[in-house]
Amino acid sequence: MSEPELIRDVVRGVPVFPDEMPFFDPGAAPESPIELFFTWLRQAVADDVAAPHAVTLSTVGDDGMPDARVVILKDLTQAGWQVASSSDSPKGRQLRANPAAALTFFWPAVGRQVRIRGAVSIGTTEENDADFQRRHPVARALVLAGGQSEVMDSRRVLDAAVDEQVQRLEAADGIASTTWTVFTVAPDEVEFWQADQQRLHTRLLYTRFGAGWRRELLWP
Ligand SMILES: Cc1cc2nc3c(=O)[nH]c(=O)nc-3n(C[C@H](O)[C@H](O)[C@H](O)COP(=O)(O)O)c2cc1C
């Protein structure tokens, strides 16, 4: 019998960063991390980074344990980074009980990571509904069916619940969700991380300072 394959052999030698990466001069960084994020996001889109708007949202549960999952960035305003989910999902409950979160973007094709930490606020009824109405009909039906992350008895139960809600949505315009929520992470700290082939990565940390931001380099 052959030796079982070791994970360390599978991952060893797999490249993490491309040979060519964009140059990042932290000395020329703008005063606001929101402005720099826009620049980096636009560059990620231009450089064909897959799903640059996919972001890991980390929260803390009642038991003090961290939890994390990937969501989609919906918008970025001067108030902060916006993501959306059901308020009765595990993340929604965690954010209601402990309105603080971290967001982590990783853009492999450009060797960049952005980390955001801050307090979380929930959208107004109008903001939540506007985002809900922009969703694909099946995605809306799924939210109306509820139960995200609960144990599911069978796929048939899911299909029946979604069908029922799709029919409701087809029968009437503008049906709203009572749970769909836009969460805004207001940044206290934002870190921009640029990989370097020699591992001398460049890290720039923005920390809120009065009405503005303090900028500091971090040891890689
Ligand atoms: C690329 C990607 C995008 C996702 N976007 C969202 C999203 O915007 N909102 C959401 O509620 N779940 C999204 N999900 C699903 C979540 O990762 C997660 O499975 C779900 O929200 C349940 O999380 P929870 O049990 O921690 O509440 C996405 C998953 C992936 C892989």
Q: What would the mean pLDDT of 51-71 be, rounded to a whole number?
A: 98
State how far the Cα of 181 lies from the Cα of 74, in Å rounded to an integer: 11
Number of domains in the chain: 1
142 Cα: distance to centroid of ligand 1 (angstroms): 13
Residue 190 domain flag: yes
pLDDT tops 80 at residue 184: yes
Q: What would the mean pLDDT of 13-23 be, rounded to a whole number?
A: 93
Residue of 55, 58, 72 best suited for mutating to test ligand 1, as the one with most atoms within 8 Å of CB: 72
What residues line ligand 1, using a CB cutoff of 6 Å?
A: 51, 54, 67, 69-72, 83-85, 89-91, 148-149
Residue 197 domain flag: yes
205 Cα: distance to centroid of ligand 1 (angstroms): 27
Residue 2 domain flag: no
Is 43 annotated to bind ligand? no
23 Cα: distance to centroid of ligand 1 (angstroms): 32
Mean of all residue pLDDT scores within the chain: 96
Concatenating the DSSP letter of every residue in the chain gives -PPPPPHHHHHTT--SS-S------GGG--S-HHHHHHHHHHHHHHTT-SSTTEEEEEEE-TTS-EEEEEEE--EEETTEEEEEEETTSHHHHHHHHS-EEEEEEEEGGGTEEEEEEEEEEEPPHHHHHHHHHTS-HHHHHHHHH--TTS--S-HHHHHHHHHHHHHHHHHSTTPPPSSEEEEEEEEEEEEEEE--TTS--EEEEEEEETTEEEEEE---
Is 112 annotated to bind ligand? no
pLDDT tops 70 at residue 52: yes
Residue 144 domain flag: no
Residue 170 domain flag: no
**pLDDT band at residue 4 under the 50/70/90 scheme:** confident
Residue 157 domain flag: no
Percent of the chain whose predicted confidence (pLDDT) is above 70: 100
Q: What would the mean pLDDT of 87-92 be, rounded to a whole number?
A: 97
**pLDDT band at residue 5 under the 50/70/90 scheme:** confident
* CATH code, domain with 28: 2.30.110.10
Which residue segment(s) compose the domain that 112 sits in? 23-129+179-217
**Residue whose CA is at the smallest distance from ligand 1 atom 3:** 71
pLDDT tops 90 at residue 2: no
Residue 7 domain flag: no
Write down the pLDDT at residue 1: 65
Residues with Cβ within 8 Å of residue 144, at least 6 apart in sequence: 165, 168, 169, 175, 177
**pLDDT band at residue 21 under the 50/70/90 scheme:** very high
Residue 105 domain flag: yes
Is 193 annotated to bind ligand? yes
**pLDDT band at residue 3 under the 50/70/90 scheme:** confident
